[in-house]
Structure 1
């Protein structure tokens, strides 16, 4: 028996016939390839890296060996590179070649309509047309609501786009089809709960997340949802207790995660303030590290050489301009480390049809410039840049909790402004924040600071 066969038997994944029975035909004659495809998809969907199977990387390698011409094998491999790591064909020649190979294969063999749509969606994503890619995945889900790859790729892309309502409703439309006897249905509860949480349906989100955890206590995505709810509601004690109580269930899973599935790993270890980014180099780890350091910086915490350590990783990405969300966090590190050349490079955008770059003039540049003005002591200018776009910043992507650093910057800039009107604005923003997150220690500290500023004035 071949090595591929051993792994396929070990993973117990769906056979060629099983995929057909599920109404999700795969165009290959290799049973091994089908089982390995399932192994990769399962690890991606459940945020695991099964070392017994060789992890996602190992399974992908064996998948290609089992059938080098299996188009959907190329789709999942390229999709994980593009979507899972935030890479770009513009920056990665190997990925560009892999995408070209996939496109050539797709045109040289008969594929189902569903498979053709998968190829087209990934091609759109690679071209920077993220909303159009989501439209194509949604087209798949209308006819094939249990296509987990289409669901997961679209969920992650909606997250990058800041399309939280679409992220929620995409799962809502297919949720009735994920019956308890459907493999991995409990994880779909977790996806749905996250979309509900990001659109402020906290009670329903928490209920679903707990339902998912009752079925599988190691469901890291549902733990993730509950952690976010506790953060958004400023329930600090409850949140810390929950993370501590469930640590044994998610910590091992997260720690063995490969760089192919970092979207959760970075956030859990961020809670532990672990220096993961220095070892992984993953952009998702890097941006959260930058965000943590900048929040501490706003609070007046001395950071020593930490910015210089992070800059060693971010400096090579100052000209990437793949995601605006990444760009502004890279900028934080160059400002923190006082590297003026890296800061200048980060602020240079070229006109492009890419969806993300099309937002640069109206959102990306004003946001980045607000950070620069604040660090240069021009607090009035920072407020003038940031306040008009505060409600549009959801388009930068990320979660509500991640983007909160922009709200904190606006408040600090207004508090430190020389303008009485802007100081008044700071107090208004803090009252607004206190209503949304009552009993938040951070808000209480800033309210006391605002009162001190007022008394001095």
Structure 2
């Protein structure tokens, strides 16, 4: 008897009708970042324990969150999928997932790249590869992985909205803002729950310092991207950045205390947003009260997880803000162990960017501003190598500029501020930073903003 096929025509080893329905629904939830896809795929596995792709999909769910506790679960899913057998496409999924579990990020991405070349309508391969491109900071592949398959997709196909949303984000990360915005808006028009499409347009507004338009974009239908969404915190973070650009710090704090922290920050990716937002507020002179302490408590169990340097960098920010020196040292030691780990991707993330970025933040926190300037200047043009988006890594440039001001290096501060204003001529934040740098360049004593 021939195996059942998914909506794109791919064979699914071991599937039953009930399992297929649950599998398809899980794919929709993942593409929109809504619901509880783990619970849904578990229903598929319960209905068909021998369904190879259900185990592969569950493995991806646990791998792509970069949660240390997710790794053992992902490994069990991979092993179970391997025992189920499968065709070449299914085996490639499991191999890519295994490579990611092993910390071989780029190899996993290449396996998925080849998989998409052969099976361009495999939406899971596209999305997993797209997320790996994000975590490795590969802007070109964020765009081109999707561009390669576009001719195979069209509006009637389930998941087409997600392909457009991914392409929009890739275009934005490559600086093609007009095309990115048009593509992202079309994605959302096709599927209002597509959180990644909303996110892509928000990134365009962020990179162009179009705060008012960004606020209008995200607030026109908050329910679409926030209700029952496990990606909501990141889009709330973007909304907070728009208000920060306008100087609405009370609104930023309200968003932090409500939508950002409201989920109790139990997920690493949400904790990253919380750290980045509080650090920005502190750079701009806002008293964040005891918020650092609560966030540091959340990060504490993960201080030495050592599975992704970008996470560790954000954990360190919380420990600096909370004044927890032992935890700061634990993160640095973990990064040093990672950096010494050989030729693998985890070691490269730490060695090339993660460790010097962490040392720079610690120097800044200790008032060693010249050291912070030196370290940040050394990595700012290679920072994509440890992942994240341009908007997330902007924290490096913001900290560098403030460190230059506090170090009394007026010419550098002025140069950095002018550079920023040239790239982002709109919005209030670049002009406020320029005013601060101008004071430093005139030899005025500029008080620490935080």
TM-score between the two structures when normalised by the length of structure 2 = 0.89
After TM superposition, give the deviation of residue 104 of structure 1 in Å. Answer: 5.5
The CA distance in 1 between the partners of 2:277 and 2:79, in whole Å, is 40
Q: Which residue of 2 aligns with 1:320?
A: 305
Sort the Cα spacing of 1:214 and 1:104 in 2 relative to 1 into closer, same or farther, 3 A: closer
| 8 A contact 2:4–2:12 mirrored in 1 | no
**Secondary structure, counterpart of 1:154 in structure 2:** helix
Gaps of 5+ in 2: 240-254, 445-450
Equivalent residue number for residue 418 of structure 2: 431
1:28 aligned partner: 14
Q: CA separation in 2, counterparts of 1:401 and 1:190?
A: 17
Aligned residue runs from structure 1 range 122-137, under 5 A: 122-137=97-112
Which of the residues 267, 270, 273 maps onto 2:234? Answer: 267
Tell me whether 1:103 sits opposite 2:79 in the alignment: yes
Separation (CA, whole Å) in 1 of partners of 2:324 and 2:20: 49
Question: Where does 1:25-424 land on structure 2 (aligned, <5 Å)?
Answer: 25-49=11-35, 55-83=36-64, 85-88=65-68, 95-96=71-72, 99-100=75-76, 102-103=78-79, 105-106=81-82, 108-250=83-225, 254-257=226-229, 262=230, 264-270=231-237, 271=239, 272-273=255-256, 274-276=259-261, 279-348=264-333, 349-350=336-337, 351-353=340-342, 354-418=344-408, 422-424=409-411
Quote the residue 1:449 is aligned against. Answer: 436
CA distance in 2, matches of 1:110, 1:278: 39
Q: How many residues align?
A: 420
Instruction: Report the secondary structure of 1:456's partner residue.
Output: coil
Aligned residue in 1 for 2:252: none
RMSD, aligned CA = 1.9
CA contact (8 A) 2:55 2:81 kept: no
CA distance in 2, matches of 1:77, 1:280: 22
Number of the residue aligned with 1:10: none
Deviations 1:134-178 (A, max 9, x none): 111111111100001100101111111111110110000001111
Distance, in Å, in 2 between the alignment partners of 1:454 and 1:280 is 40
Contact 2:206 2:214 in 1 (8 A): yes
Instruction: Say which SS state the counterpart of residue 359 (structure 1) adopts.
Output: helix
Give me the whole-angstrom Cα distance separating, in 2, the residues matched to 1:275 and 1:309: 13
Are the aligned partners of 2:56 and 2:77 in contact in 1 as well (CA < 8 Å)?
A: no
Corresponding residue for residue 6 of structure 1: none
1:22 and 1:213 map into 2 onto residues whose CA distance is 21
Partner residue in 2 for 1:3: none
Give me the whole-angstrom Cα distance separating, in 1, the residues matched to 2:307 and 2:402.
28
Alpha carbons 1:287, 1:329 under 8 Å: kept: yes
CA distance in 1, matches of 2:20, 2:171: 33
| 1:353-374 deviation per Cα after TM superposition (whole angstroms, max 9, x unaligned) | 5412223233211111111111
**Runs of 5+ consecutive residues of structure 1 not aligned to the other structure:** 1-14, 50-54
Deviations 1:362-396 (A, max 9, x none): 32111111111111111111111110211000112
- Residues 244-275 of structure 1: per-residue CA shift (max 9 Å, x gap): 2232433xxx2312xxxx4x322122233324
Distance 1:16 1:279, change over 3 A: farther
Which moves more between the two structures, 268-277 or 58-67? 268-277
Contact map agreement 1:370 1:386 (CA 8 A) in 2: yes
